[in-house]
Amino acid sequence: MAQVLEFKLPDLGEGLTEAEIVRWLVSVGDVVAIDQPVVEVETAKALVEVPCPYGGVVTARYGEEGTELPVGAPLLTVAVGASEPADLPASSTSPGLSSPAGPDAAPGSSASSASDEASGNVLVGYGTGAPAARRRRVRRASVADPVAVGAVSLPAPVVQPVNGTVGPVPVVSPLVRRLARENGLDLRELTGSGRDGLILRSDVEQAIRQGVTQAQPATPAPVGLSASSTASSTASPSASSRIGAERVPLRGVRGAVADKLARSRHEIPDATCWVDADATELMAARTAMNAAGGPKISLLAVLARICTAALARHPELNSTVDMAAREIVRLPEVHLGFAAQTDRGLVVPVVRDAHTRSAESLSAELARLTEAGRSGRLTPGDLTGGTFTLNNYGVFGVDGSTPIINHPEAAMLGVGRIIPKPWVHQGELAVRQVVQLSLTFDHRVCDGGTAGGFLRFVADCVEQPAVLLRTL
């Protein structure tokens, strides 16, 4: 007899609380193997293929493509022990089917009896090696009576009051409700594009763009004010409510970047110092290295190697601040992040153990992560755990910038474009390849002397690459 198990959206790590369904990789009725990817989701950090820890036949999927689901929400159900749809009980292929243990049973609680059909891989909340999760008691809405679907009872659509009336609103996700509420939308006025009229996030976003807003109830005029004076005081709409204004939801990568930058500015007392450097010798050294044969070494890799050498001399900048303990935590490894612009927005992939890598190894890893970023295949692990960030904004054709520190790190080195400029070289005016270097640092971890020493060492290595040899 097939056993139907429910697979919920797992915790993808790093505090991520939700993910958007980008593409289903299986359909109802498909046979899946243990650890087979079943859905591609987009988190605030990356596109991730989610493997299912069970093997069997898919009996139900939850959520259309484009829907955001919170961690712990059902993704699909699998009939373990079934090899084809014909093996399933008559009721098991009904849409919205839940596992026999109920819609809120943890998968681990029913997987123990079918351990040979479940993965032992670590996927937070799943796997045969983990103890059974404690079942959570869920309170049903009092206005929703169960509706029988085959042999399984499912709650009716939640009925919520809208504008003083009560009526069913077919919305697939609480996140969609929240988006509509925050933008003053009456969900009853929208036509859902999902199955059975379900209102999807894309429907709400389209309504926001078209300016379909919920009418605000009239407010009586305060005592002593006429209706005309009240009207005149509210006649000027805010910039966000003007006709034609476009609202762009801060979600996904853009939302994560916004949160992190705002937190950095709010929590970190940063300061910036900068210096111009003659990069002519550095460019010549890189050309000579690549002319010698072997894998090509990128300029970013050479700059990354200089950064790790500078951090070895000034470890204060490879640290973080624990304000709860009132401690500066100096980190033993250098996990070097580098800012990369992609079609999905700004991402900061991390080169692990950069301090142990040669320029050739750094170049290969930087190339791998850059390509993964462009194709949207960076994993959450590729984007977290950095201790220092290198930002080459010169690729945008600009000379200088004041970087915002990548919280919770303590510093970021910015590199502008390298261009020919007049420069005094060996006592004479000459045209040299000049670059501006800027360092933004957390003033809690060090003072200007340390930051200046770090930046000066970087500039010296740029101007005279032989300086770097003394640190190897």
Q: Give me the active site residues, please.
A: 443
Dihedral Cα 39, 42, 45, 50, nearest 10 deg: -10
Dihedral Cα 21, 385, 408, 309, nearest 10 deg: -140
Dihedral Cα 266, 271, 276, 277, nearest 10 deg: -90
Q: Measure the CA–CA gap between 440 and 304, rounded to whole angstroms.
A: 16
Residues 6 or more apart in contact with residue 345 via CB below 8 angstroms: 252, 253, 254, 257
* Residue 372: strand, helix, or coil: helix
Residues 6 or more apart in contact with residue 469 via CB below 8 angstroms: none
Instruction: Report residue 352 CA to chain centroid gap.
Output: 19
Name the DSSP class of 394.
G
Q: Measure the CA–CA gap between 77 and 133, rounded to whole angstroms.
A: 18
Q: Can you point out the beta strands (E) in 9-73?
A: 18-24, 31-32, 36-42, 47-52, 56-61, 68-70
